[in-house]
Amino acid sequence: MTTQQPTKWRRLRACPACDMVSAIPVLRPGQHANCPRCGHVLARRYLHPVQRSIALAASALITLLMAVAFPFISVDAGGLDNQIELPQTASTLLQSHQPVVAFIVACTAIVLPGLYLVGVIAMQANVLRTVPKAYSDVIARLFSQLHPWMMADVFMVAALISLVKLTGMADVQLGASFWAYCVFALLLLMTTRSVDIDWLWYRLAGEPETPEDIRCGMNAAAQQVTGCATCGLINHLSAHHPSNCVRCGSVLHARKPHSLQFTWALLLTAMILYIPANAYPMMITTSLGQSHAATIIGGMLELWQHGSQPIAAVIFVASVLVPILKMLVLILLSWLVKHPGPLSALQKTRLYHLTEFVGRWSMVDVFVVAIMVALIQSGNLMSVLPGPAALAFCAVVITTMLAAMAFDPRLLWDTQGKQHD
């Protein structure tokens, strides 16, 4: 819901999506404040936010430890059985001479979510103990950076796709770790949604008095102010030397420095990497001494021919359609910054947020390879190895995500900033 403005405002915020200055009223638990122009959520409030976050984070951390400690999946193919634990999805890739892919799988599925949960517990505990400055500000700075790279939900979808692939090859048994990781992915999502960064920074460092000359309903840049990318506080910008946020100390910029240049460079890199990612094999399967290499498209067609049309459709959307559309949309938005077209600024902003949301789901094919490689290891009788496309495709996903992060959606409103859609 969008709350109504009371007579006395607590704080002002510049929307990170469209740069319009808005007043955040006093929010009750369960309410949230949206930007009146683009709808971006500026703040949320929860009942007992500290206790809620600690409970969810602690529960998620316990289920993650269970997922790491117990068997994940076991297979039995004609008497050749194998059982893996969750960390083996990364360690087997390392043994298969794919250290970069192994590192990315381990970080996105296990390490970064674990660090995030520990950080949530430590920071919220400091708030309870009224010692908020005990490294909590450092942890809070990392929160927004970690969110896109925690991919437990994507990993679970990949695990389900792997199970469908394996049902025609072997008997599959799901271990306790599998179910623990399912619960962990859900609890991690609930934990991230329970953390209100705006409220946390208020508890960590208070709320300095907002300058009286700042007006709501106008772009922050037009008033020589900007919202801090870390804590959200509105600060005046200096025309002669770099400015720092008076609350958290972060360096301030009216717009992301060299946003379009970085976006174009990363998109060009992604387009170049997309060629080997699709031309080379993603996975190499050996059965009774016969090797079969499958590209992304080839693997999708095999699933379709074997009657797994829904899974083939998921692979096509996540691994083929999403990367292409994401690159095309970012190219279009970068061009529209300089050449406004028929789309409104609000429509362009929604397109940008869509690319942000779907981009990480392309990692599903990389996770499928990691799980299959770990499970099917019986020498020449039956084994699965990662192909050279695994690293290239992983790089495509990461560079497109970085390109979306480098793009500044406020540039879209600088051209059409006076349109109220």
| Measured distance CA(417)–CA(93) in Å, rounded | 48
Which residues face 227 on adjacent strands?
A: 234
Q: What percent of the chain has pLDDT over 70?
A: 90
Q: CA torsion 71→76→79→83, rounded to 10°?
A: -20
Question: In one letter, which amino acid is 373?
Answer: V
How do residues 346-383 score in pLDDT, each as one tens digit? 999 999 999 888 888 889 989 998 988 888 876 556 67
Conformation bin of residue 181: beta by default, left when phi > 0, alpha when psi is -120 to 50: alpha
Which of the two residues, 216 and 139, has the higher pLDDT score? 216
How do residues 193-238 score in pLDDT, each as one tens digit? 888 888 888 887 788 877 778 888 889 988 899 998 888 889 888 8
Which residues face 226 on adjacent strands?
A: 235
- Would the pLDDT of 132 be above 80? no
Q: CA torsion 267→270→272→275, rounded to 10°?
A: -140
Q: Which of 126-135, 227-236, 314-323 has the lowest mean pLDDT?
A: 126-135
Other C-beta atoms lying within 10 Å of the C-beta of residue 370: 31
Q: For the chain, what is the mean pLDDT?
A: 85
Q: Which two tokens stand for residue 368?
A: 């499928």
Helix axes 389-406, 364-375, angle to 10 degrees: 150
* Residue 286 CB partners (closer than 8 Å, separation 6+): 292, 380, 382, 383, 384, 385
Which of the two residues, 293 and 361, has the higher pLDDT score? 361
Identify the pLDDT of residue 190: 94
CATH number (1.20.140, 1.10.3470, 1.20.1300, 3.40.50) of 254-421 reads 1.20.140
- Would the pLDDT of 1 be above 50? no
User: Can you tell me whether residue 374 is helix, strand or coil?
Assistant: helix
pLDDT bin (cut points 50, 70, 90) of residue 4 is: very low
| Measured distance CA(280)–CA(390) in Å, rounded | 9
| Measured distance CA(274)–CA(340) in Å, rounded | 28
pLDDT bin (cut points 50, 70, 90) of residue 417 is: very low
| Measured distance CA(98)–CA(387) in Å, rounded | 9
Which residues face 244 on adjacent strands?
A: 251
Identify the pLDDT of residue 7: 37
Identify the pLDDT of residue 380: 56
- Would the pLDDT of 10 be above 60? no
Q: Which of 17-21, 155-159, 235-239, 364-368 has the lowest mean pLDDT?
A: 235-239
Other C-beta atoms lying within 10 Å of the C-beta of residue 310: 12
CB 62 within 8 A of CB 68: no
CA–CA distances in Å: residue 384 to residues 94, 96, 166, 298:
14, 10, 12, 15
How do residues 117-130 score in pLDDT, each as one tens digit? 998 898 888 888 76
* Residue 149 CB partners (closer than 8 Å, separation 6+): 107, 108, 112, 360
Residue 105 sits at φ, ψ, to 5 deg, of: -65, -45
Single pTM value for the model: 0.88
| Measured distance CA(329)–CA(322) in Å, rounded | 10
**If we measure between CA atoms, which residue out of 197, 206, 202, 226 comes closest to residue 214?**
226
Q: Which two tokens stand for residue 16?
A: 């990170």
Alpha carbon of residue 279 to chain centroid: 27
Q: What is the mean pLDDT of residues 390-407?
A: 94
| Measured distance CA(274)–CA(271) in Å, rounded | 5
Domain-wise residue ranges, the chain: 11-45+208-246, 254-421
Which of the two residues, 34 and 339, has the higher pLDDT score? 34
How do residues 162-181 score in pLDDT, each as one tens digit? 888 777 667 888 999 999 99
Question: In one letter, which amino acid is 338?
Answer: K
Q: Which two tokens stand for residue 85?
A: 């634990």
Q: What is the mean pLDDT of residues 378-390?
A: 76
Q: Which two tokens stand for residue 270?
A: 């992604």
Which of the two residues, 247 and 416, has the higher pLDDT score? 247
| DSSP states along 356-387 | HHHHGGGGHHHHHHHHHHHH-EETTTEEEEE-
CB 315 within 8 A of CB 299: yes
Which of the two residues, 1 and 66, has the higher pLDDT score? 66
pLDDT bin (cut points 50, 70, 90) of residue 5 is: very low
Which of the two residues, 307 and 43, has the higher pLDDT score? 43
On the CB side of 312, how many CA atoms lie within 13 Å of its CA?
13
Find the farthest-apart pair of alpha carbons in the chain and give their distance in angstroms, rounded. Answer: 77
pLDDT bin (cut points 50, 70, 90) of residue 291 is: confident
Other C-beta atoms lying within 10 Å of the C-beta of residue 147: 13
* Residue 244 CB partners (closer than 8 Å, separation 6+): 250, 251, 252
Q: What is the mean pLDDT of residues 74-81?
A: 73
Which residues face 236 on adjacent strands?
A: 225
Question: In one letter, which amino acid is 112?
Answer: L
Identify the pLDDT of residue 3: 41
Residue 214 sits at φ, ψ, to 5 deg, of: -85, 130
- Would the pLDDT of 259 be above 90? yes
